[in-house]
C-alpha cells in the first residue's frame, strides 16, 4: 500500500484523499517511512517534523470528513527548500550563519499553502544562501541525485528536486535565480516551473538576488505544478515587485494535444551544442510534440552569451550588497565556493550594475521580437547540453576543471532569469540511467501555456513516471 501511494502523482493522490479512498495520514506515513529509510543516502531533508506532519494530516482528514474540503492540496504531504521563513522557526538558508536565528515573519507562499490545507513534512537541503547550481553544501553535506548517488542533484533547490524524485514528497517549493528550480527538476527527472518575475510573492523568503529571484513549484507532473501554482500565484501587497495581473485557472489550461501551438527550436544556440548521447532524446521529444499537433519552427535567436554575462554581473553585485556585513564579520562561516562567488561582487562598478539593469527591457524586447513575434508560442531548450556531472567533477577541490563544468550546468537556464520569462523543465528520456530534460520558455505571464503544453506531452509519454530505485539505510 505504501509503495502504491508513493507512486501516485499529487493530483491522483488528491482525488483519492477527497473521495476518502485514502487518508492524508496514510499518505503522510508512507512519505515519512520513505524518508526514514532513504534520506541518509540522498540527504534531501535537513529536518523532518514527524509529529507536526502527522498532526496536520489528522486535522486534514477530520476536516475532509466533515465535508470541509479546501481544494486539491488539502492533506497533501509537501516539503520546501529551507529558505522560506516561518514565524518563530529557524530557516537555515543552507548556511551556518542562519542556523540559530528564528524568523519574525512567515513567507506568503507558506501562508497560502497552509490555507490550501497542505501538510509540511520538514525542510529541505539547498546550496548555501541559494548560491550554487550543483547542490553541494559543505555545512550539511551534498544533496545527492536519487538516480546515481555519485552525481549532482542540481541546485540551488537541490533537496526539492531530489525529494520529489525519490518519492519522499508529492511536491515542493524552490527558488530560481539562474536555474535553481529548472536544474534540480531536470537533473532529478521531475517537473519544475520557474514563473515570470513578479508572478509569485517573495515576501518572507530568503533573498539571493532581488532583481532575479522567483519562487515556484517542483512536482511529478505539469498538472501537479499547476495545482501548486494556483495556490501561490498572485499579487501580494507585502511584496511590491509582484505584478497586479490576472491569475488564470492553471488546471483549465491543461490540454490533450498541441494543435494550434508553434514550438520554436533554436538552430544557432543550445540545441546544436547537444552531445550525441542525448541528442536523439531531444529529437524524439520534438517529434512527439509534432505528433501531438504542434508546428515545429526552426529559428535563430539572439546570442545568449551577453545575457549570461549580465546575469552573472547582477547576481554577484546584489549578493555582495546582501552579504557585505556577514562577510566582513564572519567570513570563516561561508563555504569557500559561496564566498568566492559573493566576494567577486565587491569589485563590480556601480555603473556596470546599473547598465546591466537598464539593458533588461531592451534585451527582453529583442528576444520577444526574435521569438514570439515570429509566430512561436514557446521555445524548446535543453536543460543540460551534456551528461549530469559527478559530485567530484564539480568540487572546488578540482580547481582546474570545476569552474568550466559549473558554467556549463547553467548555460541553458541563466539567461531566462535575466529576461524574467517563465520556463518549465520536464523529463524527456534517459541516457546511461540518468534523466535527460528539456524546458519550454514562454512569454511573460504565460505559465498556463507552458503547463498546458507539457501536460499534453506527459499524457503521451511516460518519462515522468519513472522512479529511481533506492537502497534502504
Residues carrying an active site annotation: 81, 156, 180
SS3 424: strand
Residue for grid cell 540511467: 433
Which DSSP helix (H) or strand (E) runs through 285?
helix 279-291
Which has the closest alpha carbon to 80: 36, 32, 118? 118
What whole-number distance in Å separates Cα of residue 33 and Cα of residue 333?
34
- Give CA separation, 44 vs 47, 107, 152, 268, in Å: 9, 21, 12, 37
CB atoms closer than 10 angstroms to residue 449: 20
What whole-number distance in Å separates Cα of residue 440 and Cα of residue 444?
12
Is the distance from CB of 80 to CB of 123 less than 8 angstroms? yes
Q: Which three cell numbers stand for residue 190?
A: 521531475
Rg (CA), the chain: 21
Which has the closest alpha carbon to 423: 257, 249, 180, 261? 180
* Crossing angle (nearest 10°) for helices 222-232 and 447-460: 150
Show Cβ contacts of residue 466 under 8 Å, excluding neighbours closer than 6 positions.
189, 427, 430, 435
Amino acid at each position: 500500500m505504501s509503495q502504491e501511494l508513493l507512486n501516485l502523482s499529487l493530483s491522483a493522490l488528491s482525488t483519492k484523499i477527497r473521495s476518502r479512498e485514502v487518508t492524508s495520514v496514510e499518505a503522510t506515513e508512507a512519505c515519512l517511512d520513505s524518508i526514514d529509510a532513504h534520506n541518509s543516502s540522498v540527504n534531501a531533508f535537513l529536518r523532518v517534523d514527524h509529529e507536526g506532519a502527522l498532526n496536520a494530516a489528522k486535522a486534514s482528514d477530520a476536516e475532509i470528513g466533515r465535508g470541509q474540503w479546501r481544494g486539491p492540496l488539502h492533506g497533501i504531504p509537501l516539503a520546501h527548500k529551507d529558505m522560506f521563513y516561518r514565524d518563530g522557526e529557524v530557516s537555515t538558508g543552507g548556511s551556518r550563519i542562519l542556523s540559530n536565528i528564528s524568523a519574525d515573519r512567515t513567507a506568503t507562499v507558506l501562508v497560502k499553502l497552509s490555507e490550501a490545507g497542505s501538510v509540511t513534512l520538514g525542510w529541505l537541503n539547498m546550496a548555501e544562501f541559494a548560491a550554487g547550481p550543483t547542490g553541494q553544501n559543505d555545512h550539511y553535506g551534498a544533496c545527492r541525485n536519487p538516480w546515481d548517488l555519485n552525481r549532482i542533484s542540481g541546485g540551488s533547490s537541490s533537496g526539492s528536486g531530489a525529494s520529489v524524485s525519490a518519492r519522499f514528497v508529492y511536491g515542493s517549493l524552490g527558488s530560481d535565480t539562474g536555474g535553481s528550480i529548472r536544474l534540480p527538476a531536470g537533473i532529478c527527472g521531475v517537473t519544475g516551473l520557474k514563473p515570470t518575475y513578479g508572478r509569485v510573492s517573495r515576501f518572507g523568503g530568503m533573498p539571493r538576488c532581488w532583481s532575479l529571484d522567483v519562487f515556484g513549484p517542483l512536482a511529478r507532473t505539469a498538472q501537479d505544478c499547476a495545482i501548486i501554482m494556483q495556490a501561490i500565484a498572485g499579487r501580494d501587497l507585502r511584496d511590491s515587485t509582484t505584478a497586479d495581473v490576472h491569475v488564470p485557472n492553471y488546471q483549465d489550461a491543461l490540454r490533450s494535444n498541441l494543435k494550434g501551438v508553434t514550438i520554436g527550436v533554436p538552430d544557432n544556440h543550445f540545441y546544436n551544442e547537444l552531445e550525441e548521447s542525448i541528442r536523439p532524446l531531444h529529437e524524439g521529444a520534438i517529434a512527439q510534440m509534432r505528433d501531438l499537433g504542434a508546428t515545429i519552427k526552426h529559428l535563430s535567436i539572439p546570442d545568449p552569451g551577453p545575457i549570461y554575462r549580465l546575469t552573472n554581473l547582477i547576481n554577484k553585485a546584489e549578493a555582495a550588497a546582501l552579504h557585505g556585513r556577514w562577510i566582513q564579520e564572519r567570513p570563516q562561516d561561508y563555504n569557500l565556493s559561496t564566498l568566492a562567488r559573493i566576494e567577486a561582487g565587491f569589485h563590480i562598478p556601480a555603473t556596470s550594475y546599473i547598465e546591466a539593469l537598464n539593458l533588461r527591457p531592451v534585451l527582453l524586447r529583442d528576444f520577444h521580437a526574435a521569438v514570439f513575434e515570429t509566430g512561436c508560442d514557446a521555445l524548446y531548450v535543453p536543460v543540460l547540453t551534456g551528461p549530469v556531472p559527478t559530485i567530484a567533477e564539480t568540487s572546488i577541490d578540482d580547481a582546474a576543471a570545476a569552474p568550466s563544468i559549473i558554467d556549463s550546468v547553467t548555460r541553458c537556464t541563466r539567461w531566462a532569469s535575466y529576461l524574467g520569462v517563465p520556463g518549465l523543465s520536464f523529463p524527456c528520456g534517459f541516457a546511461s540511467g540518468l534523466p535527460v530534460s528539456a524546458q519550454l520558455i514562454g512569454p511573460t505571464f504565460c505559465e498556463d501555456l507552458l503547463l498546458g503544453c507539457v501536460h499534453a506531452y506527459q499524457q503521451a509519454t511516460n518519462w515522468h513516471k519513472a522512479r529511481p530505485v533506492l537502497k534502504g539505510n
